Structure 1
Amino acid sequence: MTTPTAMAGLPAVSPALGKKLLEGLELVDQRLREVVDHDDPFIADASGHLVEAGGKRFRPMLTLLAAEIGEGRSPEVVDAAVGVELTHLASLYHDDVMDEATLRRGVASANAAYDNSTAILVGDLLFGRASEIVAGLGAEAVLIQAQTFVRLCAGQIQDDRQSTDEANPLEHYLKVLADKTGVLIATAARYGAMFAGCPSERIDTLREYGELIGMVFQLSDDILDIVSDAEESGKTPGTDLREGVLTLPVLYARQSTDQGSARLRELISEPLVDDALHAEALGLLRAHPAIEQAREHTQRLARRAADLARTLPASDARDALEALPLAVASRTS
């Protein structure tokens, strides 16, 4: 059952719009449960594992919100939101195998609850279910789904490889974010506008808006991974740092040339498996100007997304879309 927590982080929502979105999310959740069900109880249980764990439902919420720029929610808009969320859920099954995760959304990850092979195959099954749903929305939607999936996978591959010697590490990372995270959120907003009858220029605006807010979402995660308090966030800080993942604050710190940053640059040149070295690097990074540089970069992208939202017709939905990027950029959890 969808609760108001699914609306967390969505500012400037009037009571009437909030009611519409919550009703829409209820329909999305009902449809998700129908779609992941299966005659085989084991497959049904494994397929529904992350659906039942909940989550923010950010992507379907954005589909529903974008639809309010046009004619509003319809069965096609709900199915589009379900297709996007299924694609996202499927990618999480695969991500958890690749990351050897043990927890997801406060419950055991699928690979931990079952095994790697099951998690991979269930992820594939959910991708197939998403394709089934999108196929009912027409040829253009199928093409968009395929193009989105290609970019999503390419972004994941490039992320695993990190930056090549020839590439600018910062440019490489931002492109990876656009592909790995931004593209699916772009499709979420695009579908909402498409299936609510918006003209092509508004669909394009919302697609671009969605890609930007997707990048903002991931960049704010990068910052939170470093600055968050474990007791408040419920997450272990510095996970990316421990694994040697090059996130935006780390990239800015690596680019610094001042003598005072020499020790930090030395520490973050490789994964930090030693607890003492990890703690030292985390403390130095938290105090480094790289954090503020990363925040400023994230805010710039958020302002670009808000500027795009301001070009849409005046409405409660536009106000929410305008406020959302800066709220995502400033979130604390």
Structure 2
Amino acid sequence: MIENKIACNNEAKMTIFKNNAKPIASKPDIFHNLTSQLKDYLGWIDREILNQAEEFDAGVVPFFRYVLESEGKRIRPLLVLLSAKGSGGIIEDHLYLAVVVEMIHLATLVHDDILDGASMRRGLPSVTSRWGSEISVLLGDSLFAQALKVCCRLHPDIIKSVANGVCVVCSGEILQTRRRFDWNLLEEEYLKIIQMKTGELFRIPCELAARLNSASQSISEALGRYGQALGSSYQIYDDCLDLFGNEENVGKTLGTDLGGGKLTLPILYLYQQGSEEMKRTIVEIFENGVSEDWEKIQLWIVKEGVLQKTFQTAMNFLEQGKKELDPLPESDEKEYLLDVSNILGKHLAELVNAQSAL
């Protein structure tokens, strides 16, 4: 267990102040086989994230603890660690980078739930359903600010890159919000949006982890492109979950894309290739909310080959990302990064196959 020290870079040791917070309980993780050998690092990162709640006024600490204790997959911290090990080794700065990117991610989730009107997140009532949008907006803003405060431990160039990345993520969210209910949205415009709002938060941990190791620009940027492609595929997977997932298993409110007018990739594909009847039904559902015709939409998405087409687009991103890893020297960590893509691809395939009976 990590208490006062964490091993890094072979025999070297770095001192970490002891955490008094209790470890965060974790739920089953699809990346368990990849995280098991990194559990000490990930455990320290979890505790340090939770410790950030104590930085705020005592009167608001419970709000922050509620968000920071949530049981996420910690994919972004995992990407920091794997990219670090694959580009030279884990140092103390990598752990703080992992804290930063996960806190930024949590802040975006708080704001997403406000925009989407989601009542549940990670198996618990969302912040906005518990305390309203006013507190949620301020809570999300404060998490962004606290993440950048932690980021000040790192090199100024890394700080600037993280800040730029946050701007890209927020810009992507603005573009998506402005294009709600916009049936003129093109596939390439949608893909640009998800690369900004989701792909960017996968690019940052991969590319900056390598830069912290003084890896070459070509290696750092290749890892960044791998991360962005992985994140884009992950967003498409999330689009499909919103249509076909189970709230109890997924742990969050589903159908928010539909109710909020977000034109996700399967919906775009169906609208673009569908008959006039299909188009009228899709528009009616999006304008009036979920209706008795929703099961008809799900059936069309499967029978018209839209789900398979969406799956192929997501897989194309995964394959593109894996090719970006070619310049990396052969190592276990490189194989683990490939495994992250393969695991996501497997879950995409399982989701698609599960709908074949419709």
TM-score normalised over the length of structure 1? 0.89
Structure 1: distance between partners of 2:254 and 2:110: 22
1:273 match:
289
Q: How far is 1:30 from its partner?
A: 1.4
Aligned AA for 2:283?
A: S
Instruction: After TM superposition, give the deviation of residue 218 of structure 1 in Å.
Output: 0.4
Bigger shift: residues 109-118 or 80-89:
109-118
8 Å CA contact retained: 2:121, 2:253: no
Q: Report if the CA contact (8 A) 2:181-2:262 is conserved.
A: no
User: Is the contact made by 2:53 and 2:61 (CA closer than 8 Å) also made in structure 1?
Assistant: yes
Give the counterpart letter for 1:265 in structure 2: K
CA distance in 1, matches of 2:138, 2:183: 36
Is the aligned partner of 1:175 residue 2:163? no
Q: Which letter maps to 2:116?
A: D
**Greater helix share, 1 or 2?**
1
What is the match of residue 291 of structure 1?
307
Work out which of the residue numbers 79, 97, 100 in structure 2 matches 1:62. 79
Corresponding position of 2:164: 147
Q: CA deviation at 1:163?
A: 7.1
> Does residue 99 of the first structure (1) align with residue 99 of the second (2)?
no
- Which of 203, 221, 224 pairs up with 2:238? 221
Aligned residue type for 1:122: L
* Cross-structure match for 2:219: 202
Fraction of identical pairs, as percent = 27
The secondary structure found in structure 1 opposite 2:293 is: helix
Contact 2:301/2:307, CA 8 A, preserved across alignment = yes
Q: Give the aligned partner of residue 16 of structure 2.
A: none
Change (3 A) 1:205 1:7: farther
Assess if the C-alpha contact under 8 Å between 2:87 and 2:210 holds in 1. Answer: yes
Q: By how many angstroms is 1:237 displaced?
A: 5.6
Deviation for aligned residue 1:2: 5.3
Change (3 A) 1:101 1:200: same
CA contact (8 A) 1:111 1:119 kept: yes
Q: How many angstroms apart in 2 are the aligned matches of 1:217 and 1:41?
A: 37
Cα separation, partners in 2 of 1:314 and 1:92, compared to 1, 3 Å: same
How far off is 1:112 after superposition? 1.9
Equivalent of residue 331 in structure 2, options 301, 308, 315:
315
- Whether 1:254 aligns to 2:278 is no
Distance 1:192 1:3, change over 3 A: farther
Whether the aligned pair in 1 keeps the contact of 2:110 and 2:140 (CA below 8 Å) is yes
* Contact residue 226 and residue 286 of structure 1 kept, 8 A: no
2:127 is the alignment partner of 1:110: yes
Residue 244 (str. 1) matches residue 261 (str. 2): yes
Match among 18, 23, 29 for residue 36 of structure 2:
18
Shift in Å, 1:26: 0.6
**1:164, distance to aligned residue in structure 2 (A):** 9.9
Given residue 37 of structure 1, which amino acid in structure 2 is its aligned partner? E
Deviation readout 1:89-139 (Å, 9 max, x if unpaired): 111111112222211111111122222221111111111111111121021
Matched to 1:314, the amino acid is: E
Distance 1:143 1:73 in 2: 21
Q: Deviations over 1:10-57 (max 9, x none)?
A: 66x4xxx732x2111111111112222135333211112121121111
Match of 2:104 among 81, 87, 100: 87
Alpha-carbon shift at residue 3 of structure 1 (Å): 6.3
Q: Quick one: distance in 1 between partners of 2:247 and 2:123?
A: 14
Q: SS where residue 275 of structure 1 aligns?
A: coil
Summarize deviations over 1:307-326 as a string: whole Å, max 9, x none: 11233111111001112223
Matched, 1:53 2:70: yes
- Select the residue among 140, 145, 150 that pairs with 1:128: 145
Distance, in Å, in 2 between the alignment partners of 1:269 and 1:209 is 35
| 1:57-110 Cα distance to aligned partner (Å, 9 max, x none) | 111111111101123222100000101111111111111122222111111111
Partner of 1:264: 278
Verify: 1:301 aligned to 2:317, yes or no.
Answer: yes
* Alpha-carbon distance, 1:146 to partner: 1.6
Deviations 1:159-216 (CA, angstroms, capped at 9, x unpaired):
0111797975111110100111011110011122122332222111111111110001
Query: Normalized against structure 2, the TM-score is what?
Result: 0.83
- Is residue 24–residue 69 contact of structure 2 (8 Å, CA) maintained in 1? no
Correspondence for 1:330: 346
Q: Distance in 1 between matches of 2:39 and 2:329?
A: 22
Amino acid across the alignment from 1:18: S
Alignment of 1:8 with 2:22, yes or no, is no
The one of 225, 228, 232 equivalent to 1:211 is 228
CA deviations on 1:267-294 (whole Å, 9 max, x unpaired) are 1124152521222222222322111111
**Distance in 1 between residues matched to 2:106 and 2:215, nearest whole Å:** 27
**In structure 2, what is the Cα distance between the partners aligned to 1:282 and 1:224?**
12
Distance 2:245 2:63 in 1: 32
